[in-house]
Structure 1
């Protein structure tokens, strides 16, 4: 199976830079049917994209701007939002004389991405993705040539978050797992399985330590504090603590058979620390089953990919 990367990954490769160096090189890329990337300069009033090819300019007509524009399943914002960013495309025709614009098709590049790569993905496949925008309900990512997919907020990590921006930023490159495939180009993703089991995360902490954490929720019976994206503990109630605050917490105990971490909040405070880059415990390209809970635990938490 061919692997096609998110839009922008080709832009600074040696082969792509060489293709943009001269009209002759662009002609060779056209003849070979290669996907090329360049920066979109303008989206005109008719929603055609004007692209900087280095040695000339090119135009992606609106109808060639993205899969689904012709039947309304994709909105024009998918084209407008590419201005000043990399766009992928196939070269349809080069101008004669060369002072006119080349005609390009982003839709053709996306069709190839679907045919050769996205339509062949299976649940459990681990793929590269690039964060494109964040909504309260989840994180949208590009999984190849600008094809969008969603990681629902509850599948981002085991530790619950208020908004995907608590984990990700736009433009960030991440890994994700195919959760389900609902059509040739419709793929739903999950992320939490890559962030480690309870045991793997708990191994980084020892009772008696005071460590950093983030307050995720405040309940009448205690305060949930995240120690890692896939590990949270319950602290005793403390006056004035609010969700979203950073904290220093004392670890009283780790109880694997109940997947519990007992904490005491030493201090809680407001801070604007950026989310850390995710650490992935799984480095392969596929998983069939992931078990979060430790062996012998009273409750089994797992994901089975079918």
Structure 2
């Protein structure tokens, strides 16, 4: 079965290059219903996308630019924003112009319909899939889960350690792994924190007596929460002139698995602008039925149960 990927994953693959190396190869792709990718060069005044196939030019008519354009449920910005970026499509035919040049007629909508039918409609909660961040909002990140079809990753599902904005974890264009949180009527909601490791897996990277780097996440009257990793934060004693978002050097005073606590002492803090790096994943499988964050001997259990039955 054909595998579906976020838009942009195919364009530099040997398979895509082979399928666009000649007009006859593009014709074969048309016959076989093969999804291809090319770079959108221009969005004309009628909002048709002109695409570079390498061996020839292609055109995606406006109504074929995305799911929902024809019905009026998707705005034209979904087409305009693809200029100078890879687009996926099916080749639906060819048009010979008066000067003898041949233009391939393409449909991004048809590629998305195929992806929706054969891939996205079969996803169930707990499935782990590849995604690519498309844009960031205060409430979460949007990610392409196949052929330019976008799903929401809410901010509270990005990591166990709380953040103020998704830009603290992701950049637009970053490739990530996600887990399906819910799938109802092909409307997908994603999660991410379950792939970043349990409390035990994260705390195993640290030892009492070490001084390590962290990020101040919250300053409370009773202490200061410092992130040691995206799925692990410790509590430091109060200290003056410490603010959320600062980098910190912290001494690990003690690690208490039963209480799921890491006690810290802040050595120093400083302002520093950092760029998010690719997440480190502890789970490498394709499906999660249940994720238990808390250690076995913890006083309370923190877990995510995924509904493994499709709606």
Q: Same fold (TM over 0.5)?
A: yes
Alignment of 1:217-228 (within 5 A): 217-228=218-229
Are 1:215 and 1:244, in contact at CA under 8 Å, matched by a contact in 2?
A: yes
1:114-146 deviation per Cα after TM superposition (whole angstroms, max 9, x unaligned): 111110001000000001111111010000000
Are 2:181 and 2:306, in contact at CA under 8 Å, matched by a contact in 1?
A: yes
User: Equivalent residue for 1:18?
Assistant: 18
User: Equivalent residue for 2:206?
Assistant: 205
User: Equivalent residue for 1:104?
Assistant: 106
User: Equivalent residue for 2:255?
Assistant: 254
User: Equivalent residue for 1:236?
Assistant: 237
Q: Using the TM superposition, give the Cα deviation of residue 2 of structure 1 relative to its aligned residue in structure 2, in angstroms.
A: 4.4
Secondary structure of residue in 1 paired with 2:297: coil
Matched, 1:89 2:89: yes
Correspondent of 1:156 among 158, 164, 169: 158
After the TM superposition, which segments of 4 or more aligned residues of structure 1 sit over 4 Å from their partners? none
Are 1:139 and 1:150, in contact at CA under 8 Å, matched by a contact in 2?
A: yes
- In the alignment, the residues of structure 1 paired with residue 39 and residue 69 of structure 2 have an alpha-carbon distance, to the nearest angstrom, of 21
- In the alignment, the residues of structure 2 paired with residue 263 and residue 2 of structure 1 have an alpha-carbon distance, to the nearest angstrom, of 50
Alignment of 1:173-212 (within 5 A): 173-184=175-186, 186-212=187-213
- In the alignment, the residues of structure 2 paired with residue 44 and residue 221 of structure 1 have an alpha-carbon distance, to the nearest angstrom, of 59
**RMSD of Structure 2 on Structure 1 (CA):** 1.1
Q: Using the TM superposition, give the Cα deviation of residue 192 of structure 1 relative to its aligned residue in structure 2, in angstroms.
A: 0.1
User: Equivalent residue for 1:139?
Assistant: 141
1:264-303 deviation per Cα after TM superposition (whole angstroms, max 9, x unaligned): 1100001122223211111000010000011121221100
Q: Using the TM superposition, give the Cα deviation of residue 59 of structure 1 relative to its aligned residue in structure 2, in angstroms.
A: 1.0
- In the alignment, the residues of structure 2 paired with residue 8 and residue 143 of structure 1 have an alpha-carbon distance, to the nearest angstrom, of 11
Alignment of 1:291-306 (within 5 A): 291-306=292-307
- In the alignment, the residues of structure 1 paired with residue 266 and residue 69 of structure 2 have an alpha-carbon distance, to the nearest angstrom, of 52
User: Equivalent residue for 2:274?
Assistant: 273
- In the alignment, the residues of structure 1 paired with residue 3 and residue 50 of structure 2 have an alpha-carbon distance, to the nearest angstrom, of 27
- In the alignment, the residues of structure 1 paired with residue 219 and residue 64 of structure 2 have an alpha-carbon distance, to the nearest angstrom, of 50
Q: Using the TM superposition, give the Cα deviation of residue 241 of structure 1 relative to its aligned residue in structure 2, in angstroms.
A: 0.9
Are 1:123 and 1:178, in contact at CA under 8 Å, matched by a contact in 2?
A: yes
Q: Using the TM superposition, give the Cα deviation of residue 72 of structure 1 relative to its aligned residue in structure 2, in angstroms.
A: 2.9
User: Equivalent residue for 2:117?
Assistant: 115
1:145-202 deviation per Cα after TM superposition (whole angstroms, max 9, x unaligned): 0000011000000000010010011111100000000113x11100000000011111
Are 2:96 and 2:103, in contact at CA under 8 Å, matched by a contact in 1?
A: no
Secondary structure of residue in 2 paired with 1:95: strand
- In the alignment, the residues of structure 2 paired with residue 213 and residue 260 of structure 1 have an alpha-carbon distance, to the nearest angstrom, of 15
- In the alignment, the residues of structure 2 paired with residue 214 and residue 57 of structure 1 have an alpha-carbon distance, to the nearest angstrom, of 49
- In the alignment, the residues of structure 2 paired with residue 47 and residue 141 of structure 1 have an alpha-carbon distance, to the nearest angstrom, of 24
Aligned residues: 305
Q: Using the TM superposition, give the Cα deviation of residue 262 of structure 1 relative to its aligned residue in structure 2, in angstroms.
A: 0.7
Q: Using the TM superposition, give the Cα deviation of residue 53 of structure 1 relative to its aligned residue in structure 2, in angstroms.
A: 1.4
- For structure 2, the residue ranges without an aligned partner over 5 or more in a row are none
Q: Using the TM superposition, give the Cα deviation of residue 100 of structure 1 relative to its aligned residue in structure 2, in angstroms.
A: 4.2
TM-score by length of 2: 0.96
User: Equivalent residue for 1:169?
Assistant: 171
Are 2:128 and 2:286, in contact at CA under 8 Å, matched by a contact in 1?
A: yes
Q: Using the TM superposition, give the Cα deviation of residue 95 of structure 1 relative to its aligned residue in structure 2, in angstroms.
A: 2.4
- In the alignment, the residues of structure 2 paired with residue 118 and residue 63 of structure 1 have an alpha-carbon distance, to the nearest angstrom, of 22
TM-score by length of 1: 0.97
- For structure 1, the residue ranges without an aligned partner over 5 or more in a row are none
Are 1:2 and 1:117, in contact at CA under 8 Å, matched by a contact in 2?
A: no
